[in-house]
Amino acid sequence: MIEQDSEIIFNKRVAVDTFLIGLKSPLVAAEARPGQFVMLKVGRGMDPLLRRPFSICGIREENLILILYRIVGQGTRIMCDFRKGESLSVLGPLGSGFEMPHKGDMPILVAGGMGIAPLIFLASIMEPGSFSFFAGFGSAKEVVATDEVGSSGLDLSISTDDGSAGHRGLVTELLENRLAGFDGKTSPVVFACGPLPMLKEVAAITLDGVLSCQVSLEASMACGLGACQGCAIRRSSEQAIAYYHVCQDGPVFDVNVLDWGAL
Amino acid sequence: MVHPDLRVKIGALELKNPVLTASGTFGYGREFSSLIDLDLLGGIVVKGVSLKPREGNPPPRIVETPCGMLNAIGLANVGLESFLKEKLPWLQGLNTAVIVNIYGHTVEEYGAVAAGLSGVKGISAIEVNISCPNVEQGGMAFGTDPDMSAKVTERVVKETDKPVIVKLSPNVTDIRKIAVAAADAGADALSLTNTLTGMAIDIERRVPKLANISGGLSGPAIRPVSLFMVHQVVRAVKIPVIGVGGIVDYRDALEFLIAGARAIQIGTANFVDPRASLDIIEGLRIFCQDKGIDRIEDVIGTLKI
């Protein structure tokens, strides 16, 4: 883990209100694993004050980290105006990454909206054709083309809420359809990242089917280092200390260890 | 060029420079050890330790506000026993002052934690949190009442051989009354201020943004408030004062030192920039060099009115 000023190599629009930023951060890139995140100092002054956590979407040419983001608030609104050649402070890589699937597992990647970012990174280091990748968006104009994010050839099945692209409905329906096709000879392992309602549905499906599943969570956090203890989430079983911290214990969790009712 | 002397004394406690990291913003030090050389710090004030482990408040626990943040962590910590067994041995290997922040539900509990830390190697001082706004009877009940502040201070001083620093709440009408009570009860030093109580509301859902409803405001937003309180307290007591509240660079640190604080603590800035404390130390050094000041002590309490 390191903190370093990183040059912005590009910052391009890849879908409506959605951007991909490439940061020259060789030390972070050298260590980063899929599922890990970075804290970016996006404000130039005192407001906004805190860093913002972002999943790493990929590594390019060994020294570039890719971050996918959608304009949702003050911080991301500032980010979309960043120009090539400017720099910003990157702290990372932080947190645990995904535990990689074992031989004979059939990985299924399930993304909702910007939750696609860490899964693109994960897919980039897996054998092409060895996994399924489902991604849900609000509508066609929000769909992030994988060519745009440097993962051309990635075979994505899309769902949209309004049916303007791919399957009309929820991405979790694509997951359920896929699971229905399993014959028991291979074991599906699910990797999911997205909005909380989607993750709750994925958790319900995989817990019900007693399937292996890892989810990557999002939380408000101030430091990303385990110092502020702001990003607490409840553990599933009663223990002396009842909380995990998303920054250190996660952001990737086995679906079994969380208290989904409290999320 | 002369190398300015940054050492300061807080009563019996000698620091290599006046920059400490504030409790609750720097974990147990180790969290930052791969990012910065902790031995360069004046000292580390560790996360508040209570007699028993505390799980803390339900989330959401933090929310950003203009030039600051609200937190309602709820003093989540490993408890005295685990602190001594699991956290302290690593801290003992550092070459900087380690100050242990303590907290209790009752005067007796404060006393028990202080007693548990008394005589333990590698602890330079105890900071008594009588000012946490985020837990019921959360210290702040003690810190807003002069008599209770005195009782807690007296007990902690009695139970320990370490210098005792009492950390004051800004959530009072006249902080000087609390300061005087703690000083008269035997405190070796005071640190101020803790966070200011505040809240934020989600206007779409019409709910508080923090599960705890209220939280403690920190960051540059509170700095002028903390600074004025330091100014007031320095004039009201004879014991040393440590300034805390929204310090993010060496200029902010100098404001507190000029007002009369003998040391300062860096809090929220650690989250934004893990190097903030070291940059402030360097900034103070360069300031002294540029102004031909030999000792940082010569800056302390030089406010002209």
Q: Report d(CA A41, CA A92) in Å as an integer.
A: 12
Nearest to B217 by CA among B192, B241, B246: B246
Please, are residues B2 and A205 in contact by the beta-carbon 8 Å criterion? no
Residue A80 assigned as binding residue: no
Per the CB < 8 Å rule, is B275 touching A3? yes
B31, two tokens: 């969290």
Cβ–Cβ below 8 Å for B27 and A49:
no
Structural contact between residues B22 and B267, judged by C-beta atoms closer than 8 angstroms: yes
Percent pLDDT > 90 in chain A is 80
Q: Is B79 exposed, middle or buried (0-12, 13-18, 19+ CB in 10 A)?
A: middle
Give B115-130 pLDDT, tens digit per residue.
999 999 999 999 999 9
Which ranges of chain A would DSSP assign to H, the alpha helix? 26-31, 74-79, 116-124, 171-180, 196-208, 246-249
Q: Is A41 on the interface with B (CB under 8 A)?
A: yes
Predicted pLDDT at B200: 98
Model pLDDT for residues B246-304, shown as the tens digit of each residue = 999 999 999 999 999 999 999 999 999 999 999 999 999 999 999 999 999 999 999 99
Beta-ladder partners of A91:
A3, A39
State the average pLDDT over residues B185-206: 97
Chain A residue whose CA is closest to B247: A46
- Cβ separation A242–B61 shorter than 8 A: no
Q: What mean pLDDT do residues B236-246 have? A: 98
Superfamily of domain B8-298: Aldolase class I (3.20.20.70)
Between CA B116 and CA B123, with CA B120 as vertex, the angle to 5 degrees is 105
Name the minimum distance, in Å, from the CA of B278 to any CA of chain A: 14
Residue A79 C-alpha, separation from nearest chain B C-alpha, in angstroms: 17
Q: What is the ipTM of this complex?
A: 0.92
pLDDT at B137 over 60: no
Confirm or deny that A54 is annotated as ligand binding.
yes
- Block residue for tokens 């940061």: A23
Given this model, what pLDDT does residue B135 score? 56
Dist. CA B215–CA B70, nearest whole Å = 5
In terms of CA atoms, which chain B residue is nearest residue A238? B55
CB atoms within 10 A of CB B203: 8
pLDDT, one tens digit per residue, over A191-246 is 999 999 999 999 999 998 889 999 999 999 999 999 999 999 999 876 656 899 99
Can you tell me the distance from the alpha carbon of B109 to that of A225, in angstroms, rounded to the nearest whole number? 30
pLDDT for residue B65: 97
Instruction: Tell me the angle at which helices B175-184 and B223-236 cross, rounded to the nearest 10 degrees.
Output: 50
Q: Chain B within 8 Å of A223 (Cβ-Cβ)?
A: yes
Name the pairing type of β-strands B189-192 and B196-198: unpaired
For an interface test with A, the pick among B218, B249, B272 (most A C-beta atoms closer than 10 Å) comes out as B272
Task: Say which residue the tokens 């009570």 belong to.
Answer: B181
Chain A interface, mutation test: which of B61, B63, B71, most A Cβ atoms within 10 Å? Answer: B61
Domain annotation for chain A: domains and CATH numbers = 2-94 (2.40.30.10), 105-216 (3.40.50.80), 218-263 (2.10.240.10)
pLDDT band at A93 (very low <50, low <70, confident <90, very high): very high
Mean pLDDT over B204-229 rounds to 97
Chain A residues in contact with B68 (beta carbon < 8 A):
49
Instruction: Provide the pairing of β-strand A132-137 with A157-160.
Output: parallel
- Chain B: nearest CA to A207, how far in angstroms? 24
Domain boundaries, chain B: 8-298
